[in-house]
C-alpha cells in the first residue's frame, strides 16, 4: 500500500515537471519555425513570422528583406493563420500558390531545425501534396521582422 502511495506521489510531483519541460521544448520548436526558408526549387524565399498568436509566411525577394519591404514590392503572403498543434506541427492555416493563384488548407511539420514539410490540400487531408523547404542561415536568415537595419 505504501508503494502505491509513493507511486502516486511521484506521478503527482514529477508529471508537472515533465509537462513543464515538454511545454518549454514546444515553445522552442515554435521559435524554430521563425525566419527565412528557401522553397524546394530554390527560386523563392518565405519569411515566417508570428503575429497575434498565429504564424504567417511572406514571400520576400531577398532573404534579408523585411515583411514590410516585401509587401511594398508587391510580394504575396504565402502562409496565413497557422496555429501550433503540438511541438513541431502547425495547422488550420492556408497556403497560397501564386503560380496557380489558389489557396489550400495546410499543415507545416518541422522535420529538423533546417527542414520544413509544407503540406497543402483541398477538403480532405489525404488529397494533397507536399514540398520541403530549407532554412536559410547566417545573416540572410536571421529573424528580424524589420529587415537587417531593424
Strands 102-112 and 115-121: antiparallel
Taking residue 99's Cβ as centre, other Cβ atoms within 10 Å add up to 6
Structural domains in the chain, CATH included, are: 33-141 (2.40.128.520)
| Mean pLDDT value of segment 115-121 | 98
Taking residue 131's Cβ as centre, other Cβ atoms within 10 Å add up to 13
Q: What is the pLDDT of residues 3-32, one digit of tens each?
A: 444 344 233 333 333 333 333 334 456 679
| Mean pLDDT value of segment 88-114 | 96
Rounded distance between C-alpha atoms, residue 150 and residue 5, angstroms: 56
pTM of the predicted model, to two decimals? 0.74
Task: Convert 70-83 to b/e letters by CB count within 10 Å (16 or more is b).
Answer: beeeebebbbbebe
Band of pLDDT at residue 105, cut at 50, 70 and 90: very high
Taking residue 92's Cβ as centre, other Cβ atoms within 10 Å add up to 13
Amino acid at each position: 500500500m505504501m508503494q502505491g502511495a509513493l507511486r502516486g506521489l511521484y506521478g503527482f510531483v514529477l508529471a508537472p515537471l515533465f509537462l513543464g519541460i515538454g511545454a518549454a521544448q514546444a515553445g522552442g520548436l515554435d521559435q524554430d519555425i521563425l525566419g527565412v526558408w528557401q522553397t524546394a526549387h530554390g527560386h523563392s524565399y518565405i519569411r515566417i513570422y508570428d503575429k497575434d498568436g498565429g504564424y504567417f509566411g511572406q514571400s520576400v525577394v531577398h532573404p534579408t528583406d523585411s515583411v514590410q519591404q516585401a509587401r511594398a514590392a508587391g510580394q504575396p503572403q504565402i502562409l496565413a493563420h497557422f496555429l501550433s498543434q503540438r511541438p513541431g506541427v502547425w495547422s488550420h492555416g492556408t497556403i497560397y500558390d501564386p503560380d496557380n493563384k489558389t489557396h489550400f488548407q495546410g499543415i507545416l511539420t518541422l522535420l529538423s531545425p533546417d527542414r520544413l514539410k509544407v503540406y497543402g490540400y483541398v477538403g480532405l487531408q489525404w488529397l494533397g501534396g507536399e514540398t520541403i523547404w530549407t532554412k536559410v542561415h547566417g545573416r540572410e536568415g536571421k529573424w528580424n521582422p524589420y529587415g537587417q537595419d531593424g
